[in-house]
């Protein structure tokens, strides 16, 4: 997928696997902190982080999980 600020490049697999686990329990603060850390590691992850943040902001946790799970498969 592509968003306004570029293609969505997922973070490395360990982080990508942890995000759904955090989202499923509804720990939004921890999710935001992890997204901040991912974004700080490489500017290429900014579109991914922006997309997931927007879903979380709108409380679309189900959509967040579906999107993250799709990237894992």
Residue 38: pLDDT band (50, 70, 90) is: very high
Cβ atoms < 10 Å from Cβ of 59? 11
Q: What percent of the chain has pLDDT over 90?
A: 23
- What pTM was computed for the model? 0.71
**What are residue 3's DSSP bridge partners?**
6
The CA angle 26-69-62, to the nearest 5 degrees, is 40
Residue located via tokens 């939004």? 28
Structure token pair of residue 16: 């990508």
């Amino acid at each position: 997928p592509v968003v306004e600020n570029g293609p969505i490049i997922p973070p490395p697999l360990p982080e990508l696997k942890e995000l759904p686990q955090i989202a499923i329990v509804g720990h939004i603060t921890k999710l935001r902190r992890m997204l901040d850390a991912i974004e700080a590691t490489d500017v290429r992850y900014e579109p991914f982080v922006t997309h997931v943040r927007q879903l979380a902001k709108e409380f679309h946790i189900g959509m967040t999980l579906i999107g993250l799970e799709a990237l894992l498969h």
